[in-house]
């Protein structure tokens, strides 16, 4: 099993360009697995983790409802945002500057074959990272993602999750609000869940801005421990 991870920092990158890049890595792993099975080979399948920020964009998952986007196409243009229907699970979410988006493209057969465990480990990575900033983050029963003050009238979501998997290969991932402009969430019903708010790390800490690089370092540290993985020295090319 190959537990080496190639990490790539894409900076601020258009959502569709990044989605296409993800898809190419995802399909390459699937093709290699097919070739291994067909030709009775044992070539190691690679694993990737992409860190990226996106310009303003709303994405709707396969099980989502368009009614949860609360603005018109004209308003989208006015606020310089895009909209895509995409092939992950879940409902609607927002990505934008100041938000760390992580896309693990893993062959889970290198780790474990359990999607439920995979989602829980991604949540745990966020929970452990936020704990380093003094925040007690939690899971909310029946709802993916990471929350604060679960079970109270003040419950608020700080990280959304949405993944796709085929033959144990994953894509899409998590979106952690760090210095995010939370006003953009007013244009939708986040993840289709009414009556619950969203928050960000800088708001919770009462600071103007948190170091994105520092947060990424902490996320990566916990990711590697939780998945019992190591960094490869190789770097994949930017899309």
Kindly report the backbone phi and psi dihedral angles of residue 13, in degrees, each rounded to the nearest multiple of 5, phi listed first.
-140, 135
What fold is seen in the domain 4-231? BirA Bifunctional Protein; domain 2 (3.30.930)
Could you tell me if 5 and 219 are in contact, meaning their C-beta atoms sit under 8 angstroms apart?
A: no
End-to-end distance of the chain based on CA atoms, in angstroms? 27
What is the reported pLDDT for 47? 97
What is the reported pLDDT for 69? 87
Could you tell me if 69 and 58 are in contact, meaning their C-beta atoms sit under 8 angstroms apart?
A: yes
* Tens of pLDDT, residues 17-72: 999 999 999 999 999 999 999 999 989 999 999 999 999 999 988 878 888 888 88
| Residue-range domain boundaries for the chain | 4-231
* Tens of pLDDT, residues 11-20: 999 999 999 9
Q: Is 77 exposed, middle or buried (0-12, 13-18, 19+ CB in 10 A)?
A: exposed
The catalytic site residues sit at 191
pTM for this prediction: 0.93
pLDDT at 205 over 80: yes
Neighbours of 118 (CB within 10 A): 21
Average pLDDT, the chain: 92
Q: If pLDDT is split at 50, 70 and 90, which confidence band does 156 have?
A: very high
* Tens of pLDDT, residues 170-190: 999 999 999 999 999 988 876
Could you tell me if 151 and 15 are in contact, meaning their C-beta atoms sit under 8 angstroms apart?
A: no
Give the rounded percent of residues in the chain with a pLDDT score beyond 90.
75
């Amino acid at each position: 099993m190959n537990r080496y991870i190639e990490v790539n920092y894409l900076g601020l990158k258009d959502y569709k360009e990044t989605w296409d890049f993800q898809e190419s890595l995802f399909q390459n792993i699937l093709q290699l697995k097919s070739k291994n099975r067909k030709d009775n080979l044992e070539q190691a399948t690679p694993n990737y983790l992409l860190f990226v920020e996106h310009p303003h964009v709303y994405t709707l998952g396969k099980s989502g409802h368009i009614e949860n986007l609360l603005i018109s196409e004209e308003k989208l243009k006015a606020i310089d945002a895009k909209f895509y229907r995409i092939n992950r699970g879940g409902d609607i979410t927002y990505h934008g500057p100041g938000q760390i988006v992580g896309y693990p493209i893993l062959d889970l057969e290198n780790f474990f074959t359990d999607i439920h465990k995979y989602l829980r480990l991604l949540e745990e990575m966020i929970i452990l990272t936020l704990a380093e900033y003094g925040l007690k983050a939690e899971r909310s029963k029946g709802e993916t993602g990471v929350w604060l003050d679960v079970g109270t009238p003040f419950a608020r979501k700080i990280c959304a999750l949405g993944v796709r998997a085929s033959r144990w290969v994953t894509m899409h991932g998590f979106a952690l609000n760090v210095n995010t402009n939370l006003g953009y969430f007013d244009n939708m019903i986040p993840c289709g869940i009414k009556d619950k708010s969203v928050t960000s790390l800088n708001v919770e800490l009462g600071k103007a801005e948190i170091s994105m690089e520092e947060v990424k370092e902490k996320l990566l540290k916990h990711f590697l421990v939780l998945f019992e993985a190591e960094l490869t020295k190789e770097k994949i090319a930017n899309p």
